[in-house]
Amino acid sequence: MLDGKKIALYVTGGIAVYKAADLARSFIKEGAEVKVAMTKSAAQFVSPLTFQILTKNAVMTNTFEETEPEVVNHIHLADWADAAVIAPATANTIAKLANGLADNFVTSALLATTAPIFVVPAMNKNMYEHPATTNNLALLKERGAYIMNPDTGFLAEGYEGKGRFPEKERIVKELTGWLKQEQVSGPLSGKRVTVTAGGTKERIDPVRYITNDSSGKMGYRLAEAARDLGATVRLITASSLPVPNGMESVAVESAQDMYEAVSEAFDSTDVLIMAAAVSDYTPAKSSNQKIKKNTGNLIIEMAQTKDILKEMGQQKTDQFLIGFAAETQNIEEYAQRKLKEKNADMIVANDVSKEDAGFNVDTNEVHLYRKEGETIYLPLADKKEIAEKILQYAVEDMKKEG
Ligand code: CTP
């Protein structure tokens, strides 16, 4: 399953180091070449010699021990690898990576590598659940690393909890699946696709907000479909659904946050898919304190938000823009108007008054209004299928636009 893959296995210090030795063997059995780097604390648990004998490669532990004068070892390992696997990954190393520290061989190589990073956290339950660790892992995930879920079970500390090093079979399976995805080549290979998803939340005060019924499902399915066609995907999400594997994500709350995230990504975007239900209005003033009940009505003045799609339509150079139109009437007229007014290349229009289409359901039924082609009707289908078809037509139109 890992035929010909070059795996840099980074071993950091925890009791699960002894299991990493067996993991190295599994990688080799699956056809990979493995080179190991260890932290000093990892070497306290199992000798580097064990890994050296198993992998038939020298094990790196010291940044300043340069055995071959023609190469800088940590850069060499960083560049050599097709995949960087950190197993076990301690809370300490995870924290260093999240903050860009490079104070030993392992962290230096990991900062230098452009290979996909696969993290196998293993530690005490309380350390794993500490907000610092949770935040650090979320940050690594946001940057594109794959984070495995540790097993729950009997820990070395003598009690049950989440934090155990997973079975090697599960590690090999998840790594193989993920690498396959990372490598897919398809009509969107080399393209950077930015997808927005979910309904924005506009704060009235610290505990109240205005939002809409969008779940984010359509955007997520589009992000996955783009990934499967080979694109590098950035998902800008206002939804709380878990981010799919194999993509970068930016969590946002308000229309303004989303505008900023899209603007930042836009220069390096080839395709922008605005699947998010962006609020057109936001409270003109949001209160820092909870608003107290008073006699009489409460009037909230609403100010217009920026129309992200329209702004990007004005700024666009050669980006392909896909917008959505959620309508309850005059679908064709409104969709065609949005196509022109927002300078989009495609508008995916749906009738949100229908029960099986649009917000918060797994299916959709849409019309594609295209700058470069005739209108396409996509009958009721799973959102995954609809997403694949949308991208298929987008790829076709992009070819025409050159
Ligand atoms: N959109 C956006 N920024 C906004 C509002 C909408 O980028 N502030 C995007 C949506 O993501 C969608 C498209 O514009 O891709 C159409 O959104 P929709 O709400 O249907 O249309 P509006 O332009 O808001 O017009 P109206 O409310 O009149 O239908």
List pLDDT tens digits, range 98-154: 999 999 999 999 999 988 999 999 999 999 999 999 999 999 988 889 999 999 988
The percent of residues above 90 in pLDDT, for the chain, comes to 75
Mutate to test the pocket of ligand 1, among 210, 213, 218, 274 (most ligand atoms within 8 A of CB): 274
Lowest mean pLDDT among 56-70, 276-290, 307-321: 56-70
Average confidence (pLDDT) over 300-307: 97
Q: Do residues 360 and 217 make contact, with C-beta atoms less than 8 angstroms apart? A: yes
Mutate to test the pocket of ligand 1, among 338, 343, 353, 366 (most ligand atoms within 8 A of CB): 338
At 330 the pLDDT is 93
Q: Could you tell me which of 146, 231, 117 has the C-alpha nearest to residue 185?
A: 231
pLDDT of 192 > 70? The answer is: yes
Lowest mean pLDDT among 33-42, 247-256, 314-323, 358-367: 358-367
Tell me, in angstroms, the distance from the centre of ligand 1 to residue 35's CA. Answer: 51
Rounded Cα distance between 271 and 189, Å, is 12
Phi-psi region of 56 (alpha: psi -120 to 50; beta: other; left: phi over 0): left
Tell me, in angstroms, the distance from the centre of ligand 1 to residue 374's CA. Answer: 22
At 183 the pLDDT is 67
pLDDT of 160 > 90? The answer is: no
- The closest-lying atom of ligand 1 relative to the alpha carbon of residue 334 is 29
Q: Do residues 305 and 283 make contact, with C-beta atoms less than 8 angstroms apart? A: no
At 180 the pLDDT is 76
Residues 309-332 as b or e (16 or more Cβ within 10 Å = b):
bbbbbeebeebbbbbbbbbeeebe
- The closest-lying atom of ligand 1 relative to the alpha carbon of residue 277 is 11
Q: Could you tell me which of 275, 356, 281, 254 has the C-alpha nearest to residue 322?
A: 275
Let me know if domain 6-181 sits in CATH 3.40.50.1950.
Answer: yes
Q: Do residues 363 and 342 make contact, with C-beta atoms less than 8 angstroms apart? A: no
pLDDT of 67 > 80? The answer is: no
What residues are in contact with ligand 1 under a 6 Å CB criterion? 255, 274, 276, 278, 280, 305, 307-309, 323-326, 338
The percent of residues above 70 in pLDDT, for the chain, comes to 97
Q: Do residues 21 and 50 make contact, with C-beta atoms less than 8 angstroms apart? A: yes
At 158 the pLDDT is 82
Domain ranges (residues) in the chain: 6-181, 187-401
Residues 6+ apart with CB under 8 A from 301: 283, 284, 285
pLDDT of 283 > 80? The answer is: yes
Q: How confident is the model at residue 358 (pLDDT cuts 50, 70, 90)?
A: low
Tell me, in angstroms, the distance from the centre of ligand 1 to residue 310's CA. Answer: 9
Let me know if domain 187-401 sits in CATH 3.40.50.10300.
Answer: yes
Q: Which of 212, 343, 350, 364 is catalytic?
A: 212
Q: Could you tell me which of 239, 267, 386 has the C-alpha nearest to residue 324?
A: 386
Rounded Cα distance between 297 and 288, Å, is 20
Domains 6-181 and 187-401 share a fold: yes
Q: What is the dihedral of CA 385, 386, 387, 389, to 10 degrees?
A: 90
Q: How far is CA 59 from CA 38, 85, 178, 358, in A?
A: 7, 15, 26, 54
Residue 151, SS3?
strand
Residues 6+ apart with CB under 8 A from 8: 34, 35, 36, 37, 77, 78, 80, 81, 83, 84, 85, 109, 113, 115
At 66 the pLDDT is 65
Question: Rounded mean pLDDT of the chain?
Answer: 92
Residues 6+ apart with CB under 8 A from 236: 194, 195, 196, 197, 249, 250, 252, 258, 261, 262, 265, 276
List pLDDT tens digits, range 231-269: 889 999 999 998 887 788 899 999 999 999 999 999 999
List pLDDT tens digits, range 381-395: 999 999 999 999 999
Residue 212 among the catalytic residues: yes
Tell me, in angstroms, the distance from the centre of ligand 1 to residue 37's CA. Answer: 50
- ∠ Cα 251 359 272 (to 5°): 50
Mutate to test the pocket of ligand 1, among 252, 307, 339 (most ligand atoms within 8 A of CB): 307
Tell me, in angstroms, the distance from the centre of ligand 1 to residue 231's CA. Answer: 25
